Structures are given as C-alpha cells and as structure tokens.
Structure 1
C-alpha cells in the first residue's frame, strides 16, 4: 500500500485454515521547511546582493557552483556570479532545497573629460568613453546616432555629445560634452618655387582666408607685412601664416629665386680641317637650345656642342625660363684628302715583294714602316719587301692630312722532302715517308690530289709519280716528287685447305716460277702427299712454299693438308627400351654425313642426333660417310617399345546432361587431368562419373604394369537425339551366309556406354551385355551355347539415356 496521508494503518492476514493475525501502524506526515530563493537574477556590482532562504528552518547549508560556502545562516551575500544553492533541514528532520543563478555585472565608468571642447574644423576629435561596458549608445544634441555603438566616436559636427554605457542591461552610466568647431583658415600661395630675373620685382599673392596674417622671410617675421600680398626683391623662403580664434592656424610658403642674366660668347667665326676637334661653349645657364643654319638641332640641349659640319651655329639660353641670352658663330670644315690603300692587311710569301698603291686626291705623299719614315718614299706606290705596318700620309693644298695603313706579314715557305727521286720495289703497296714543317700537307698521284692524304706518310698502292706539297698561310707552297714502280708479287694456285681420302695421293703444284723452296727443304716444282688406306685418325699438316718469279720478286703461300681417316660408324645407345609415346635421342658419330632409316618416326633423318618417337619396336640403321665417295660405314640401333596395356576407353556419344561413366582400363594407376572443361566425381579411378552438356575430351595419365606412364583421351560427343544415329534390327538369320548371322547395330560404335538385353516371348533373358559391340561378343541366336528356336524375341538397347525397344524375329532354315 502507498501511504499518502497521516493516520493509523492496520493489516489483517488469514491462512488457508482460517487462522488470522493483525497489526497496526501510526503514520504521521511532517511539514517540510519552505525554501524560496526566487528566480534567477542579474545584479549590478556595488551594494551586495542578499540571498534569503527564509526563517522556517533549523540548519542551513549554502553552495556556490557545487562548493560549500557561508556560515550556516538563513541569508548570504552573493560575492560573485554563479549557481547558488541552499539546503535547509527543519527541527522535525524534514529538509528542502532551492537554487538560483546569479549574474553580477560591474558598474561601467564613463568620463568624456571637460564639459566643453574647442576644435578646428580640419581636426575634429575622437571622443573616448573608456572601456569596461558591454554596450554603448551615442547621442548628438539629444538624437541617437545610428551605428555608434563603440567606446569611441569620431565627431563630425559641433553640438552636445552624450554617451550611455551599460553592463548586462542593469548597470548604467552616462556623460556629455559640448563641442565648438572653429573654421580652419586657408593659405595658398601657388607654386612652391617662383623665379624672377635679377633687378625685377615679384608680387606674392594667393588665396587667403583668416582673421590675422603674418609674412616671414627665411623664418623671420617681416614687420608690417600682415596683408594677403607681398612685393619681394630678394631671394629666399617666404611664408604666410593665418590664425582663426587663436587656435586654428594654416600656412604656406614659397621659394623665391632671382636668377642672373646669362652671358653667351661663342667666339669669332672659325675654319678647320674636317676631323679636327672643336667644342662650342655657351657658358653657364639653366637651359640651352642649339641651332644650325636657323634649325634647332635635335637633342642639343647642353652647354657644350661639338660641330659635325659647316654652317652657322647659334645657341639660345635662359635661366628659369625668365632670363634669356644668345650668340652665333660661323664654322667652316675644310675637306680632308681622300686616300685608299691596297691591298689591306695581307700576307706575302718569303722572297716575294708586295706592291702597295695609295689612291688619293692629295698632292703630297709620305710612307712610313712601323712609324719610321721611309727615305725617298714620296710617291703614290711602294714595293714592300719586309713585314710590318705600312702607313701613307697624304696632304692636300689646304694643309689637311689623311692617312691609311696596311699590315704586311711575311710568311716563310715550308720545307718538304721525300726520300728519293725514284723507287722500284716488289709488292702491291709501299709506305712513303716524307718530312715537312708545313702547316698543311697534300699528296698527289700523277698530278691529281689524293683525297684524305694530308699527312707526312702515304701507303702507295699504284706505280706512278707521287708528289708531297706543303703549304703555309697565305698559300706559300713547296713540293717534292718521286716515281714509284711496284712490281707485283708472284701468286700460286694452291688452295687454303686440301683433303686426301684414304688410299689417295695429292699433288701440290704452285705454278711456273724461277725458283721454289718448300717447307720440307725441297726445291722441286711440286710435292706429292699420299694417305694410307687404313688411316685410323685424321692427320693435318701445314705445307708452305716460297716462290721467286723471273723479276726476282718472292712470295710465300701455304696449304693445310688433312689425311682423312677411314669412317667408322658409332652409335649410342646400341639398344633401348621405350614406353609408348617416349622419345629417344639417337647419337651417331665418326663422319661428316649421316642417313638414318626407317625415317617415319624420326624428326631429322640427316642429323647425327635425331629424335626417335617409335610407335612400335624398330631397328634403326645409320650410314655414316664423309666427302670421299667410298669412305662410308653403317651401324644400327635396336629399340624395343612396350605394348600399350592401358586405354582411356572408346569414344562415345551421349544425350545432353546425361551422366556418363568413363571406361578406362589396363592401368595400375589413373590420374584424370583436372581441366576447366569438365568435372569428375573422382580423378584417380578408371571409371569416374561425369555429367556432359557439350562435346568433351577427357584426358587421363595412365601407368601400366611395365612402369610406363602415358596420356590417353576419350571423346564424348553430345547428341540431341542418339536414336538418329543407330539403326534398329528386326531380323536374325544365323545360317552362316554372312548376312544377319549375328545381331549388329550400325552406328552403335559411337556409344560405348550402352547395354543390350534380349528376352524370349515369356520375358526370360536369353542374352545380356554391357558395352555391346565393344568387343567380339555378339548375340548369335544361342543361349548357353545352344541354338534358340525360331520365333519372335524382344530386345532392349539402352544408349546415352535412350532406349530402343524392338521385336526380333529369329529364323532358322
């Protein structure tokens, strides 16, 4: 029971036998203390905030943000912001609690300074209310300024400015200030630099607005100069100051310069030879412009000018664009005589002279060599005989001079020497060696240059005239020549290699010459070499002969003679035993040529090492021979091939999806290859099962009793209707005439997985066989060796999941 009010509560219980018991309890609900701190509050710092928990309790416990504080009294002054909680326990033991969120804000301090302020119109102040508040509002003449919500405010106009600052919306402060704006005076004197010519008066005057004015010169006030204009006579810095209200000021200054009057004197008119230096000086000034024959010279804006042609030169100058001066002079350039010297900068070979020619309109000539005058050399031409720098100086009637020069280098001729005037030698070529100090060399044959022959040596390969030419710049040449006669070396008609068959004789005859000398010391015109008939091994020997022709030229030739051995055919192995499908390497030796037979199972019947892959036992013969027609021999290899004992079974046909049993046999172990094209229930038995949906070739590795391992395969064709391929039989006539003597189905050979059952008219089985027509057993109309009587029989032929059920009439005559 849940008790909700005071009172006496009793309980009576009774058991199953009617016995009862009772008890009672007095329940009193005590009044808890009332605690009310009020709602969450904000308070402005200053007078403390007093939290009061009421006076109805006995014990008080205060907490700030969960931490105990206070002294256990009903009231508490809140010292800081936070979450305050009080727990009150009354004298009756009942307790209650309350809590309140207190947020204290600091009292903002606002001070704009003095009550009033004066400012110039061009420098209005920024008012600062001070930091420490979270919001500000500014007013001008009692009107709220939109957007003015910062502690500072840039003033823009005169009037009374007031700021209101607050924290948390509970603490407020305000201050105000009266701003008076004084107009800014204006002083503008114009250009900062003003010039005038010396002796003139310059009036300074500009735009001026101000209550009081004062002029200054170089920083010093000018007595009585208090108007807006001033006449000046001296250079210096002039300044005008204006003042408004005794507070706002403005000033401007100008630099005044009285420029001197320029003095220009270009001197008297002058004449000079062209090319001689002349500089016109206009004297000091700020700006210059030069003229030639009344036309301004582009870019001629400096104090100095170097005239380039005859004419009237005038210069106009000014200082500051105010003070001007000018002068002019007549300049006449006398023409220089023209001179051309040829040839210029050339080389001459040692021992030669060079004619130098000066072409000029001058009347006087003077020649110099390396700066030294040549006595008597006063004509337009000169014969140069040594190297150096030749200069010709020419002078016109007006006294103007010109010169030209040419550098002449004398180059020495090279030294060239060949060993003799003529040479005769035996051979097809001869190295020729010359000597020379030339910078470049060139060989010639019969007067024609030999391409690429540019060294001191040359391999000469023809009879004729050979010339070596040496050259030094600038084409100084020296030659030397000799005549070469090459006598050809004698040549023999010996071969490089000769072979002698067993029992034959070789006659070496080099040809017709004056003398012979053989390697064995003989001097005959031939040598005979005989080979034994039973020579067991090849014998090689080098023979040479030195011959001398009728011009005395010698040459040597050689021939290597081999005495060929008698061919002895050798084979390895002499006999071998193979498993089916094995390959045997046959190896024969003893000769150069080989011929194997029979060759149907060989990959190359003319090789000394053919590969044999016999399907049955075979006796291989090989004939070994060399280049000698009668030098041959024969050997044989006996190869025994085990009979194939195992098979993967006969190819067969099935219907799509029919499970087939493969019929491998004859092996000791079976390993069906696990190909992706099919799956078997086992891979190591002779007759695994497979479900065939398409034409499939099953491959098995067989190991038979002979220890031979080989691959075999069985093809299973998938036929949509196997009955189309087998012809049913309905008549059997076992009379020995060869027609229908046994039950034979055409096309059944395609279905190895078949069964045949023959029944008599009473349903008794008289013949039954699996894999019918896979061997020699046929139904011939007998049962247990005894002829069956004529009559009608019934057979069931099962193939590839299909059945042929047919009556069979047995006829005996």
Structure 2
C-alpha cells in the first residue's frame, strides 16, 4: 500500500486577509485504502484548522462535496477547501490497493546462467568493518598481517553475483561467500580464507543490512578454541568476533577453507508482493510456463506475468509483468560515471560483474590489466573503457565518465608579517573559491576553521597553509608561505633612581641603544625625548619608546623624596638569660638603615654608619627589661 499526500495553501494577498488565512490548514485525518486493485472500498476523511465559518469542499470527483468520501477505487483524488473568509487550501491523495503484485525488475542472464529467479529479487551485503573496534589480524609472533576484505551478498529470491578480488595479494584475504534464500529462511554465510598462514589473533566487526537481515548467531568453527563465546552482537546490524589462539601459536588453513559461518534470518517482509495466509501466487510465461511459487526458476527468455490473489475476497487479484533476457556469451559489466566536487580528486573505478566463471581478466583503455584503476578528475570529461573476459571465455564491455564539477578550487594566501621580539604575531589566511566553510591546515599541524591564529616565534621563521573546503577539496596549487621576520629591538635606560631630601626639578634623559627611537611616551603624558618633573613625594615614572621598526621598549625610574625607612632585624645573639629570666640577659642585634645614598647616621648606642650598610649593636644589657 502506498499513500501520497501533497498540500498547497492558497492565501489571499490583500489587506488583513493575508493574516487571517495564515492559520488555515487542511489535512487527511483518516484514510482507508482499497483492498483490491478492482475494488471500490477506499475512503478519505479530511480535517481543517483555522477556518473562518463554514468550509466548502470541491473534490476532483464530480458530486463529492463533504470532508469524508468513501466508495473509492485506487486512483488520485484532489480537493479544494474554501472557508467563508475566502481562504483556500488544496490537498491531493494517491490511493493504492492493499493487494500488490511485484514481479520485480527486468532480468538479464549472462554467461553461465542457465536459469533465473523470478520475483522481486533483492540483494543485501555482508562485510567486515572497523567501527567500534579496529580490525586486528596478527600472526603467531604478534605482528600485524596485511589483509584484504571481500564483502559477500545475500540474494533474496535469486543467486547473487560472485565476488572478485586481487588473487596476487601478498597477505591474508577474507571472503564472505555469496548465499541465497527466501523471506523467512535462515541462511548461513561462510567466511573463507586465502593465504591464511600461522595466524594467531583475529578481531573485527561484521556488518549486515537491518532489518532485511537479522543476526541469528555463528556456527561451523574451524579455528582452535573458536566458538560462540568469541562472538558478540554489538547492535542490531553489527556483530564482533574476537579470537586468539589458546597456546600463543598460529592456525593455518588451506585456500578456500571456512573459518566460520554466521547465520542470518531473511526478514519475511523482504518482498514487494503481498504475503499472508490467504494469498496465492500464479506465474505464467513462454512455452506454457506455470508456477505457484513466489520465486520460481525460469529458463526461457520472454515475458512472465505474476498474479497475486487474495482468496478471502471475491475476484480480488493484482498482476505485474517482468521481461527475461538470456545473453549466454556475455558478461554483465557495470561501471558507474563519477562527478566529483573537486578538481584532481582521486576516483577508483571498479566494475560490478554478473555471470562468467572466475578468475576474470581485465583490460582497460589506459592499458592497465588490474581489476580496478585509480584516476583523477578534471574539468574536461574523461572516458574509460573496460573489457573483461571470464575463465569460461565470455566477455563484457563497459565504460564510465569521470569529471569534476565546474567549480573553482579553493585558493589560499597568507601575507608576510614583521614582528618584534617576545611579541605575539597574528597570522591571517585568506581563502577564495571552492565551497565554504573552509578548514585551514598549517605546516605545524595546527588545524582550524578560523582564518586567523596567534603565534609567538622566537626568531625569524616561515609558516605555510593549505585549505580544504566543505566538499573536501584542497587547494591544487602549492601552499602559500608567510615569512615572519623578526625586527631589531631597542633598549632604553633612564639611569639610577635619584634620592632627594626635598622636592626639586629633575630632568629625565633616556639613553637608547639599538635602532633609533621615533616616538616617546612618558607615563605623565609628556611626549618628547626629555621629560622635566618635580614630584612632591616619592614617585615612579616610566617611558615607552617605539623604534623605527615599530618595536617598543620600556624603562622605569623612581625619584625618592625625604628620609627613607629603617630596616631593623630581630636579635641575632642571646648571650645569657632566657625570656623566662629577663633580669640577667644581654642581647645583640643588627640593623640596615636605608636612606639617601652618600648620607650617614648615628645612634644613642654610640654606633654610626653609612646608609645601606649593616651595623652591629651590642651586647646590650636589658636588666631593666627593655632597651631603646
């Protein structure tokens, strides 16, 4: 049964009516499809929302004017609903019968195929993948072994095509063998090995189509200690095998031997024709062909008709037709045209082969004799032809066209920059062409979607950048290089800090080494090379210079006004008593007196000295308990 809805809302575009009609909607609230292609028991029920007043319905079938219509045969029905405000909505419904006959697609049988399976043939793939766990194939020594993995196919209602692979591959080849079955049947798919020598560990995931195929488990184990315990279903469409040889040794199999099989249930719904307890099938075809199977074998070319009947209803049936063609001396070969979003993008051309016995030989128009070739797309279409010959002498031809979309590839530029020592540099890349957004890939591995980054180089250096656009297209020219050139720095010195007893005018004259300063900026706002200040108290001034290369340097000077603080340490010697016996105690202490350089001091202990020097006082008696 197929049901198709399409809705179009017509809004009056004048004044307030536009706002009033915006909420007017028409939907199918209930539907009853016809039971048979030749019956008239279908029905459609509509509902509206946001209508103004009474709604009138005008159906494509004459005489129908209500929101519910019945007695419908398969077909297309449309209705226009109009409310009292003049708002309109249009709905279209396609009704198809519940009973369906599907004879499948037309069939071409190639070399080696004497019969074909009629019906709605389906083909589903089983493969080894790397999803939650990485693929691991090790030998007994614990070394990685190269491998190639060949997917298999489950044919529903017919035999799938035979797999092909590189028979000269120098490594392990694992092949899922093709099997066939019918809906409701369980099929077991062998995994066979080639060059399977001294293998000690296997771990990989098996992927299969779901819900068409349902995992039932594993069987037929031919590796040491391999059994159900080494298999786990990870999800509805993934299973894991994780096997290791129990004695740290390796297993060896003959080419084509089975490692194990996995069993899958073919979903009963995998047919285009109706199924059920009251459904019967009748095929007719050339030379009196007749069968009541859903998927019979046919050996003659011509047209075959399938009639599906529901015996629970009188005269309820559906028919479909399929054409069968036999080409006994030819192979079916399919090569697919490829349109890449990028210029110069790599494309692998590999044929799909039907018929003929393996191995097959290959001859490409490029002169290659491999099963597949790798080419690059360009803005000029390129055609590639392939001739295949099977082991039983049948041939097949196919061709494919490879080209790139007519879009400009991305181009990236990164301008050179100068920088000062110990200062960050902003690198900016500009990309054009291709498709946004862009990803920028720098030579140091930094990758970002921003075209700007900050670096702090310690010397002159270079950076270069590539760009990848939203389609995965890279710039097809060399990456642009940004040269970062370190500029020479200058040093500025305001001299030693002065000490003044009283405030007086001071001239600050900086000494600059290195490149000449071109700008001066004092902390008090002066902008000349020389600053004249007269602080009332101890104050700090700093100067920022900028040299001819744009680099800056800073120095600070502190002008001290008046006497400075004293720094007196704790006693350094306690000669006799203890704090518990202060009446019989003497002590010694040292002090450093900071003040104006060049000045001096004296004390009531008879000790004198110069500012900045450490002096020793004592031993002093403190029999009275204290000394000042």
TM above 0.5: no
Q: TM-score, normalised by structure 2?
A: 0.30
The higher radius of gyration belongs to: 1
Tell me which of the two structures has the higher relative contact order, counting C-alpha pairs closer than 8 angstroms and 6 or more residues apart.
Answer: 2
TM-score (structure 1 length as normaliser): 0.25
